[in-house]
Amino acid sequence: MTRIFLVVATVISAAYALWPLPTDFSTGTAALTLASDFHIDISAIPNPPQDLLDAISRTKGYLQTDQLEALVVDRGASYNQSLQNASSLVSLVLSYDSGVAGEPTSISEEAIDDIDSRVEGYTLTVPEDGSAATIKANSTLGLFRGLTTFGQLWYDLNNTTYTIEAPIAITDSPVFPYRGFMLDTSRNYFPVSDILRTLDAMSWVKMTTFHWHMVDSQSFPLEVPEFPELSLNGAYGPSLVYSTNDVQTIVSYANARGIDVLPEIDTPGHTAIIAQAYPEHVACPGATPWATYANEPPAGQLRFANANTTNFTASLISSVSARFPGKYFSTGGDELNTECYAIDESTQADLNTTGKTLEQALDTFTQTVQSVLEDSGKTPVVWEEMVLDFNLTLSNNTIVMVWISSADAAAVADKGFRLVQAPSDYFYLDCGAGGWVGANPSGNSWCDPFKTWQYAYSFDPVANLTDAQAKLVIGGEHLLWTEQSHASNLDSIVWPRAAASAELFWSGPGGNIKNSVFPDVPRLHDVAFRMTQRGVGAIALQPLWCALRPGVCDLTA
């Protein structure tokens, strides 16, 4: 794995606020203000896609409304004099590099391209003399990434929008193509507006994948027109459902922001709620004590040894996946409980009839479900147990998510699968919130302690991998399991922490946590404060006293 980390910097710039850090950039020390008639010029782009036009208007909106004061003790007051004399930037010109010809493709189309074919690179220049700034890219998605960077350059002082670091020159592209965030909408329900707000925040730190863990044992909030009973009986309530229109809204919103949606229907475990509509397909529903039959209440798993259940599951996956334009679909596969099947007479009868072991039956089930996906052009995604715990015949194309431990990545790579780093010991955002199971006062979070942004940031995505295996790592993601969260604490649990992996997988590992030139804490403060200005409730990582004094609250201070 190439670890690209080329900082071409000429000044120490504590206020510099780019996140993720561009792979190659330089800045100056000149003040530059944004002209009141500043505009973004796309005259060089014939027939610009609508989602690019929308991205341009959002960018101009942020430039107007961010109103972010520089995170320095005087909040930028001392820049006043130099701003009086500064040049003014009137325009930003977007253009494709010379290689692009014909009708441009949209951000939305490029965002769901094959993950190894996406082009996100761009170059950005902001001259100090007030002549036009430029963003150039080989793709519309690249232009969009450049706009996102441009939006992070500016501060506000008495209604003047400015930078004190002109001229700026950036050449940037990501190290890893998969940079994700996972949200569980089953343990607790999240309104569509919460998801859209989360997608906005993801786009600001250049994430590419919304991994949507839609359903689980506790609720089935997804409307599936072919199987309406699933949400009718399994959602928390009639208004706590993602309708087909809602899904379309979310997918369009994500794609227009450069984000692919990876839907997950977790099977065959984590499916107790299906019993509310289809009791015949579920083994040990509500079995007690739940701790024997499930990792958390309620118990209940699909009867995968049963041919009808297998066909039902394949139809369900087919119905759902057809409504998502992305090429990737997760069938889950984590935490199968074998005790549940041992007491399920129906499963035991099926196994006896077919003469299969549980593992052989799972293999048949998995192959059936995977072939439905592959027949419709989708690439299956699974949790690591499907590779490490069971001997299954999976498509070579399968992408495996490593979650139990970061130490498991090497074993998955040994088997030759591409993998996404989602290790609980670094990227689980729910860890450290204490035990949530009732009547258990001394219970602790199973994955205690809390994973701080800086701990997550220290993750090495290619640890213990050979150079050849490292190529199998397509990226990683932060994850939020929602036993203890919903709309009230979504933003505060996720942001700005999830930005840690966004930078790790864009800029490359081995980042600059101890680098005195571009230390991370002040940049991450900046992201958090800008998110808050944009309506995302990112939390304070430190007292404001520290946020205004870069490095002073470091352990090495």
Partner 1 sequence: MPLFITAIVLALSAIPCCLSIWPIPRSLDSGNQILKLSGSFDISINFTNPPQDLLDAVTRTKYSIQTDQLGRLTVGRGSSDSTAFGSAKTLRTLMLALEQSASTAQPIATEAVVALDARDEGYSLSVPLDGSAGVVSANTTLGLLRGLSTFEQLWYTYDGTIYTNYAPLTIVNDSPAYAYRGFMLDTARNFFSVSDIKRTLDAMYLVKINTFHWHITDSQSWPIQVVQFPELAQAGAYSTNQSYTPNDIQDVVTYAGERGIDVLVEIDTPGHTAIIGASHPEYVACYLSDWITFAGEPPAGQLRLADASVANFTAAVLAAVAETLPSTMFSTGGDELDTACYAADGPTQMMLNESGRTLFEALDIFTSTTHGALHALGKTAVVWEEMVLEYNTTTLRNDTIVMVWISSDDAAAVVQKGYRIVHAPSNYFYLDCGAGEWIGNDPTGNSWCDPFKTWQESYTFNPLANISSAQVSLVLGGEQLLWTEQSGPENLDSIVWPRAASSAEIFWTGDTLPDGFDRVGNISEALPRLHDVRYRMVQRGIKAIRLQPEWCALRPQVCDG
Catalytic residues, which ones?
Answer: 335
Q: Report the distance separating Cα 38 and Cα 69, nearest Å.
A: 20
The answer to whether 238 contacts partner 1 (rule: CB under 8 A) is: no
Please, what is the minimum distance in Å from the beta carbon of residue 527 to partner 1?
Answer: 14
The answer to whether 443 contacts partner 1 (rule: CB under 8 A) is: yes
Token pair of 419, please? 């993998």
Stretch that binds partner 1, among 175-183, 242-250, 263-271, 274-282 (CB under 8 A): 274-282
Hey, which residues does 39 pair with through a beta bridge? 91
C-alpha distances out from residue 512 to 58, 165, 456, Å:
30, 20, 13
Of the residues 132, 352, 448, 464, which one makes contact with partner 1 according to CB under 8 A: 448
Stretch that binds partner 1, among 115-123, 247-255, 328-336, 479-487 (CB under 8 A): 479-487
The answer to whether 551 contacts partner 1 (rule: CB under 8 A) is: yes
Restricting to residues 164-193, name those near partner 1 by CB under 8 A: 186-189
The answer to whether 436 contacts partner 1 (rule: CB under 8 A) is: yes
Token pair of 173, please? 């592209």
Stretch that binds partner 1, among 82-90, 173-181, 398-406, 439-447 (CB under 8 A): 439-447
The answer to whether 284 contacts partner 1 (rule: CB under 8 A) is: yes
Of the residues 440, 464, 466, 468, which one makes contact with partner 1 according to CB under 8 A: 440
Q: Can you tell me whether residue 59 is helix, strand or coil?
A: helix
With CB under 8 A as the rule, give the number of residues binding partner 1.
86
Nearer to partner 1, 12 or 545 (CB): 545
Q: Any residues with CB less than 8 A from the CB of 503 and at least 6 apart, and which?
A: 19, 20, 21, 205, 457, 511, 520
Place of tokens 């258990």: 440
Nearer to partner 1, 62 or 459 (CB): 459
Nearer to partner 1, 130 or 435 (CB): 435
Half-sphere exposure of 71 (CA within 13 A, CB side): 27
Strand pairing class (122-126; 133-137): antiparallel
Nearer to partner 1, 55 or 494 (CB): 494
Restricting to residues 93-132, name those near partner 1 by CB under 8 A: none
Q: Can you tell me whether residue 80 is helix, strand or coil?
A: helix
The answer to whether 272 contacts partner 1 (rule: CB under 8 A) is: yes
Nearer to partner 1, 44 or 552 (CB): 552
The answer to whether 354 contacts partner 1 (rule: CB under 8 A) is: no
Please, what is the minimum distance in Å from the beta carbon of residue 483 to partner 1?
Answer: 5
The answer to whether 15 contacts partner 1 (rule: CB under 8 A) is: no
Restricting to residues 492-531, name those near partner 1 by CB under 8 A: 492-493, 513-514, 519, 521
Q: Any residues with CB less than 8 A from the CB of 555 and at least 6 apart, and which?
A: none
Q: Report the distance separating Cα 348 and Cα 287, nearest Å.
A: 16
Stretch that binds partner 1, among 207-215, 304-312, 404-412, 434-442 (CB under 8 A): 434-442
Please spell the DSSP secondary structure of 208-249, one letter per residue: -EEEEEEE-SS---B--TTSTHHHHHHSSSTTS-B-HHHHHH
The answer to whether 309 contacts partner 1 (rule: CB under 8 A) is: no
Nearer to partner 1, 131 or 233 (CB): 233
Of the residues 26, 432, 460, 533, which one makes contact with partner 1 according to CB under 8 A: 432
Residue 184: φ, ψ to 5°:
-95, 115
The answer to whether 86 contacts partner 1 (rule: CB under 8 A) is: no
The answer to whether 253 contacts partner 1 (rule: CB under 8 A) is: no
Please, what is the minimum distance in Å from the beta carbon of residue 55 to partner 1?
Answer: 26
Of the residues 125, 450, 470, 471, which one makes contact with partner 1 according to CB under 8 A: 450
Stretch that binds partner 1, among 112-120, 143-151, 338-346, 415-423 (CB under 8 A): 338-346
Stretch that binds partner 1, among 102-110, 126-134, 304-312, 429-437 (CB under 8 A): 429-437
The answer to whether 532 contacts partner 1 (rule: CB under 8 A) is: yes
Nearer to partner 1, 390 or 436 (CB): 436
Q: Report the distance separating Cα 501 and Cα 529, nearest Å.
A: 18
Nearer to partner 1, 28 or 423 (CB): 423
Token pair of 521, please? 């804490």
Of the residues 244, 434, 464, 510, which one makes contact with partner 1 according to CB under 8 A: 434
The answer to whether 9 contacts partner 1 (rule: CB under 8 A) is: no
The CB density around residue 167, as the number of other CB atoms within 10 Å, is: 18
Q: Report the distance separating Cα 111 and Cα 94, nearest Å.
A: 19
Stretch that binds partner 1, among 78-86, 206-214, 261-269, 451-459 (CB under 8 A): 451-459
Restricting to residues 455-474, name those near partner 1 by CB under 8 A: 455, 457-458
Q: Any residues with CB less than 8 A from the CB of 326 and at least 6 apart, and which?
A: 112, 251, 260, 261, 262, 263
User: In degrees, to the nearest 5, what angle opens at C-alpha 204 toward C-alphas 182 and 462?
Assistant: 55
Cβ density class 481-517: b for 16+ within 10 Å, e for less: bbeebeeeebbebbbbbbbbbbbbbbbbbebbeeeee
Instruction: Please say whether the beta carbons of 153 and 135 come within 8 A.
Output: no
Diameter over CA atoms, the chain: 86
Q: Report the distance separating Cα 150 and Cα 172, nearest Å.
A: 12
User: In degrees, to the nearest 5, what angle opens at C-alpha 381 toward C-alphas 379 and 257?
Assistant: 75
Nearer to partner 1, 188 or 370 (CB): 188
Q: Any residues with CB less than 8 A from the CB of 349 and at least 6 apart, and which?
A: none
